[in-house]
Amino acid sequence: MKTIKHDSVWDAITDTPQESASMKIRSDLMRALQEWLNIQGCTQADAATFLGVTQPRVSDLTRGRISLFSTDALLDMAATAGLKPKLTVSATTIKPTGRLPAKRQRKEAIAA
């Protein structure tokens, strides 16, 4: 049996790089919001009122039910909480994929 190493758990359990990237971002946002909730020390109902969501939504957040949240919803809550969310893309990891045709071939394909 061959051992496969992954950079993150999301790489191992998702089917596509796109899904993995989305899950990484959502999990980072959820962890930050969970930490914010712990620091605030308020009830879920008070947090829900402040964040503009329902108490069951805050419960889902604290339980880590990531599949119930979109990136946009988590970004909105994080911004409302004053967390100043920011996305960083590392250019050092950009590598040729071999999926796109060479530059000259693309021009020829477009002209055709």
CB-based contact 10:23 (threshold 8 Å): yes
Q: What is the largest CA-CA distance in the chain?
A: 63
pLDDT at 65: 95
Pairwise CA distance, residues 108 & 66, whole Å: 44
Residue 65 lies in a domain: yes
What is the residue-level pLDDT of the chain in tens, covering all 112 positions?
777 775 665 555 666 777 888 889 999 999 999 999 999 999 999 999 999 999 999 999 999 999 999 999 999 999 999 999 888 877 766 677 667 666 655 555 566 5
Number of structural domains the chain divides into: 1
pLDDT at 21: 84
The CATH number of whichever domain residue 16 belongs to comes to 1.10.260.40
Residue 79 lies in a domain: yes
Residue 16 lies in a domain: yes
